[in-house]
Amino acid sequence: MTRATRVGATRVDVAAAAAADADVVGPDPAPRRALRGAVWIGSVRPQHASRPVPTERADPPVSAKLPALAELAARVGGEVVGDDRVTIGDLTHDSRQAGPGTAFACRPGATADGHEFAGRAVTQGTPALVVERVLDQPAPQLRVPSVADALGELAATVHGDPSHELRVLGITGTNGKTTTAYLLEAALVQAGCTPGLVGTVETRVRGHPVPGLRTTPEATDLQRLLRRMADDGVDSVAMEVSSHGLSLGRVRGTRFAAVGFTNLSQDHLDFHADMEAYYRAKAALFDPAYAPTGAVCVDDPYGRRLAEEATIPVVRVSRDAPEQVRASGVELRPDGTRFRAWLGEASFDVTLRLPGPFNVTNALLALAIADGAGVDPAAAALGIAGITGVAGRMERVDEGQPFSVLVDYAHTPDSVAGVLEAARAFAPGTVIGVLGCGGDRDRAKRPLMGRALVAGSDYAILTSDNPRSEDPRAILEAMAEGAREVAGHAWEIEPDRRAAIAKALEHAGPGDVVVIAGKGHEVGQEVEGVVAPFDDRAVAREILAGESPSCEERSGEGQ
């Protein structure tokens, strides 16, 4: 038996299901490439519904030397009961994926306890179990105080600490993570890197999509993915880091070259006890255990607080204020923005084909994170100029209609207000907004969402999003409470989302802009446990391509 001091953050209570995500399977492995230490190239240095889970096991990633159970115990300060010389080729928290070479982590969850499935894993040939209590099973067992807390470090050890071979750039915050991740990926490509992407919309290896389920994958899936990236020749990764991922320990064992913070506003209070807990979860990324340096947008109070409280050096980023990384000469246009980006005393002209002032902020943050990780900021600026759009983020739907249609993932009060404000730059007419709120999620933000929608629209339609197990009418009534607080703006309730989109399009005339918000890139709608195909973009195209008489009539009326 071997004991060692535990590595990682303070233990948190875990309310995660024992069921696992789908395995992430990448291309055939190629020889590993180690990344040289990052150097400063820029001028600024820091101043301070569920989808089905596959039951077939994937082959463990190639590894030069498989770790023994004793090595895993030393990494997390656990003790081995049984033979500590058995070697581990992979680690899973899904008993269906356990088998020869693949150890099974018996993680307790909200609805099931992984210890109950240890027998299945042993029957399937697992070489070892990771447990919180010793089980009556004929397999070596690594006992730890908390399987969830240890999982990230264990998975990193099993896969040879792949993040140490990669330049991993992490982005956290409420809004803007996805766009910033895509901007970072483009910056890395322009700088001559071979990047991977891990995020909400998709996961990509060398530009090729691979299966993924969550914004931040489970710890075992994440380390397996990073290993496959490293073995396939990826040298850098742009990665969204969610508050759930941080609170549940999914990124433990991951080393970031640099991290960034976009903003913080109300969201996920169904998971976090309050805004303070939500902030603390995000702030945990700005710690030497994860990264040596960071960049923080200080345009909101939480960003300013984080810039002071971070325990790693950070650069301060602002769209409007004279901070270390800033913008000047901002020109907002319907098809994008132009501005001059300042990184300390150095500056670069940036042409961004993404509309909205918030995308100026996203671009500045991407430049600051890239610079902090040693990426040439001039190359990064050229890279982000090549992004033509991000799925479900201010995404245009154009079927030749005389008005603009935008689909956006905005699903917080702040993001809804920001998108509607930006939409007014698209056309001189009225702004028509369509929005719903998800069921089984943060209930407190629903009135705020309704108020933001009605306040930012000339005409608003409250509708369903993903009601999940809740009554859609109850969700809409909560939204309506906020809508009623806004005087002088027209709005209505239409529970059927397709019908709501149709009404918005029929109401629009030349020069107007329709914003369909809340679901963005999503391609399904979950109602009472059933996910039916539903894509706001496809629905809007179908309605517009159907040449609705009301749309044609309105285009002729010049309204």
Q: What is the distance between the alpha carbons of residues 53 and 51, in angstroms, rounded to a whole number?
A: 6
User: Residue 73 and residue 76: Cα distance in Å, rounded?
Assistant: 6
Across the strands, what pairs with 252?
none
Q: Determine phi and psi for 279, rounding to 5 degrees.
A: -60, -45
550 is known to lie in a ligand binding site: no
176 is in an annotated binding site: yes
263 known ligand binder: no
Separation of alpha carbons 205 and 226, rounded Å: 10
To the question of whether residue 175 is assigned a binding role by annotation, the answer is yes
Q: Which of 140, 287, 166 is nearest to 222 (CA)?
A: 166
Residue 216 marked as a ligand binder: yes
Residues contacting 413, CB < 8 A, separation 6+: 265, 266, 445, 448, 449, 451, 452
Confirm whether residue 299 is marked as ligand binding: no
Residue 465 marked as a ligand binder: yes
The Cα-based distances of 552 to 60, 290, 355, 403 in angstroms read 58, 56, 28, 11
Residue 537 annotated in ligand binding = no
Confirm or deny that 445 is annotated as ligand binding. Answer: no
Answer yes or no: is 412 a known binding residue. no
180 is in an annotated binding site: no
Is 475 strand, coil or helix?
Answer: helix
337 belongs to an annotated ligand binding site? no
Q: Annotated binding residue at 468?
A: yes
Are 137 and 129 a contacting pair, CB within 8 Å? yes
How far, in whole angstroms, is CA 232 from its chain's centroid? 23
179 annotated binding-site participant:
yes
What token pair was written down for 109? 């969850």
Is residue 442 annotated as involved in ligand binding?
Answer: no
Q: Residue written as tokens 């309105």?
A: 554
Cα distance between residue 375 and residue 345, in whole Å: 17
Ramachandran quadrant class, 146 (left: phi over 0; alpha: psi -120 to 50; beta: rest): beta
For 212, phi then psi, to 5°, come to -160, 160
In degrees and rounded to multiples of 5, residue 86 shows phi and psi of -60, 140
Per the annotation, binding residues are 95, 173-179, 215-216, 242, 250, 441, 465-468, 518, 522
Please report, in range form, the residues annotated as the binding site for ATP: 173-179
Q: Which residues are annotated as a binding site for meso-2,6-diaminopimelate?
A: 441, 465-468, 518, 522
